Amino acid sequence: MSRQLAQSARKRFGQNFLVDGRVIDAIVASINSSPNDSVVEIGPGHGAITSGLYSSGCDLTLIELDRDLVPNLLASFVSKSPNRCRLINQDALTVDFGRLGTQLRIVGNLPYNIGTPLLFRLLENVGQIKDIHVMLQKEVVNRIAAAPGNSAYGRLSVMIQATSSVKPLFDVSPESFTPAPKVESCVIRIIPNMSKRIRIQCMDTLTDLVRQSFGQRRKTLRNNLKGIISLEEFDYLEINPQGRPEQLSVDTYIELGNYIARQRGTV
């Protein structure tokens, strides 16, 4: 079975199927879904995680890009319980998550090539998401959870931590998949947090600011934010213009974004 899965796996779809029952159980247990939950699984593949989710009785939306996997997913889950299971045969990066409901619980052993862009896409609909449990490369999880001053701290850390609490749950070694990926993986829990989000006065301004600030990591904030913040404003805001982008805390980015939004009159 494992060899068949490895042979059928498509590299371009980032297919590394989970075959370690203990890891699958640990993921399903960490999600702990119930009949009241609206779960959206991205990339169900052959249904390794899907079976546990399905058994919990939750409402289940499956988003799978590979059409060759669709018949099996339909037969195993959707046709058995069409009132609470559906399948979207589409690239998850093009799905409008805002139309899938509210209080969504997003789940997935994500194909590595879409992990980061997908998280940014989910951030656009963060108000409709209850929580996210995803497996990603460990390196990406480290970036999401990094603290200021750490070399992994960057745009992904600031944008996710500005709106959500993050908790890396457990590491998963390459042997738990077939075919085995080249890198370590990690499951992370991300919980959007309303009290964090309401501090952000203009999300677009914060997004632009963070993108510009980390535009060139080795450059100073003064260089990266030329034309956006003057030297006098750095002084007024008590931020060192010679500092590097990774030295500012998430709170400072939020305050700076709010300041810029007020100056531009966008709030």
- List of residues contacting ligand SAM (CB under 6 A): 13-18, 42-45, 48-49, 63-66, 69, 91-93, 109, 111, 114
- Closer Cβ to ligand SAM, 42 or 250, answer by number: 42
Nearer to ligand SAM by Cβ, of 27 and 162: the residue is: 27
Nearer Cβ to ligand SAM (28/200): 28
What's the CA gap between 231 and 213, in Å, rounded? 15
In whole angstroms, how close is the CB of 202 to ligand SAM at the nearest point? Answer: 30
CB of 164 to ligand SAM, least distance (A): 22
* Minimum gap (Å) between residue 213 Cβ and ligand SAM: 29
CB 30 → ligand SAM: shortest distance, Å? Answer: 14
User: 115, 134 in Cβ contact below 8 A?
Assistant: yes
Residue nearest to ligand SAM (CB): 43
Spell out the residues 6+ positions from residue 129 whose beta carbon is closer than 8 angstroms to its own: 97, 103, 104, 105, 106, 122, 192
Long-range contacts: 79-87, Cβ < 8 Å, 24+? 81/54, 84/57, 84/58, 84/59, 84/60, 85/54, 85/59, 85/60, 85/61, 86/60, 86/61, 86/62, 87/61, 87/62, 87/63
Q: Which is nearer to ligand SAM, 13 or 259 (CB)?
A: 13
Nearer to ligand SAM, 178 or 205 (CB): 178
Alpha carbons 60 and 87: distance in angstroms, whole number:
9
- The minimum distance between CB 249 and ligand SAM, in angstroms, equals 33
